[in-house]
Amino acid sequence: MGVIHKFQGDPDRFDWEGIIPKGYESKDIRGATVRWLISENEKAPYFAMRYFEVEPGGWTDLGRHAHDHGVIILRGKGKVLLGEKETEISFGDVVYVPPNELHQFKNTGDEPFGFVCVIPNKDVLSKTKGRR
């Protein structure tokens, strides 16, 4: 059975019914939260969908992963680092991050920078490990 999480926010605040924002802070991350919109909780067999929000002056981790990412920017403006190239991005822009590519998202504006990121489900990753 499908699941719907109704949007509960407004232009200043992005929230969904039944979704709790989680801190996404470490020494390599500043001012970021994540909301797991679709995950194992919804029994999604192939993918997970997350909403990240980065405060002005903040950034996500600088990292690389064995899986790819699909990203669409919903609010604010920022920069994305892909490999060694940094590019400005804003509302409506779509970013593809291939497996193992170094990447990071930074807020360069004065309002929250928010984006949806789709990744493979952990079970799919474990079943395809070594096949890439």
Catalytic residues: 117
Residue type, 9: G
Measured CA distances, 5 to 56, 72, 130 (Å): 27, 18, 34
Give the separation between CA 50 and CA 44, rounded to whole angstroms: 13
Q: What angle do CA 96, 101, 106 make, to 5 degrees?
A: 70
Q: Is the dihedral of CA 26, 31, 32, 33 positive or negative?
A: positive
82, 128, 129, 131: which is closest to 105 by C-alpha? Answer: 82
